[in-house]
Structure 1
């Protein structure tokens, strides 16, 4: 398939919502259409009829589709200056809490969650921290929970770590096994991975920090408003919200409920 009409796109989104309860109606349509079409090539789908038929009758096919179209791009210490800002401007404030609760929403395969765990460990805060890492993609979560990362990436991740202000030997945080690196269990012990859908999810805890980086770019403005409201209700007074470098609250009605902490690195704080 080379193209998909707006009506066919809407029909597919409706089938997904009615059959499986996944609501993609407020995702940015242009981006989602591109991922839909790439999936048709990957799955060798000939026409719309076959696509609909398989969606309606084959749950395994649907799970494969979700795995393919949802966001999987991530890396450890992605945007190093963001983590440096976290180290210098946020963690010292979080140190005042007896128990630190952090939510990584849209955690993909866990690389950014492990990065946060390293920051907390180096700040002496990991023992009293609880990190809740969620994603819509069950396959991503399984990979994240195993703590296994391709060894070929670790050289780049080491450079990211150093640029983020890291001063330890980065290899101390993982064990190399053949072509994989395994994040040490001591870093993963306080991380809870589970499936959560930002579109339909509700408040499930109260957090001092929520990280949702490079997820809003896939949402339209309506869904951005809704999810920001969810984050606001999930934060303690003066709790922190971190978005991706290319994301902002500037066009979001919820902006008045937050104050900027670091505009360049997209770190905000809930007002009292």
Structure 2
């Protein structure tokens, strides 16, 4: 009833998110928002828009890191970039971008491969607070050690510190990395495709969806991708048992990189 009410009131659709993960998040929200029951939380959310904004932070789990799973980015460098070089201009979609760590990671990779200036990146998420954080590009200084290690393992070609300066109590990343990035609100559960793209990266998002929503999302990506375009998923995600299993070919199966099958 809570997620149905949220959908009817705010048009945010969590109805096809997996029940177990939703239950964990709602229990945390109950505690943090000082509610004794889900009914009390529902009433609060329906009558106080600011309470919904707070609930959204628990329902979407904005957690990420730069160059997460370094082998994924190494595989992009070695197996996807050579194909991307053949296009005069590029469009890349980072779906479920959270607070922007993956966007900046891809931008750094593309910059080092000489592709950033001719690339338009669409970074989308349903959480406006996360999108604002992504636009700012300021990350905690105490995370730079982990991010640096990930970057080096992914095949980084420079000193990671070249890309940020210590400011505002955190690490402020170079603005040139996001000059060609459009940050936008987009729901994989309710919205449609908005552009043809060459590469879609959507990692650690579909693990929270049930089978029906996973199929919908893969359909969006298939529709968005150009002929023989590329798809990247999270380390625990797969297309093997989806309705689109035959519509993509594994490019680097272990790293979860796929290519749209020829039609």
- How far apart, in 2, do the equivalents of 1:181 and 1:132 lie? 23
- How far apart, in 1, do the equivalents of 2:37 and 2:168 lie? 42
- Contact 1:15/1:55 (CA < 8 Å) preserved in 2? no
TM-score by length of 2: 0.98
Structure 2 partner of 1:6: none
Q: Report runs of 4+ in structure 1 exceeding 3 Å deviation.
A: none
CA RMSD, 1 decimal: 0.9
1:156 matched to 2:146? The reply is yes
Tell me, which stretches of 5 or more residues in structure 2 are unaligned?
A: none
Q: How many residues align?
A: 262
Structure 2 partner of 1:45: 35
Structure 1 partner of 2:184: 194
Give the counterpart of 1:239 among 217, 229, 232: 229
Structure 2 partner of 1:17: 7
Shift of 1:71: 2.5
Shift of 1:178: 5.5
Shift of 1:116: 0.2
- How far apart, in 1, do the equivalents of 2:168 and 2:8 lie? 44
Residue correspondence of structure 1 range 24-43 to structure 2 within 5 A:
24-43=14-33
Range with greater deviation from structure 2 (148-157 or 39-48): 39-48
Report the secondary structure of 1:103's partner residue.
strand
1:95 matched to 2:80? The reply is no
Give the counterpart of 1:213 among 183, 194, 203: 203
- Contact 1:152/1:179 (CA < 8 Å) preserved in 2? no
1:177 matched to 2:167? The reply is yes
- How far apart, in 1, do the equivalents of 2:38 and 2:198 lie? 46
Tell me, which stretches of 5 or more residues in structure 1 are unaligned?
A: 1-10
Residue correspondence of structure 1 range 25-174 to structure 2 within 5 A:
25-174=15-164
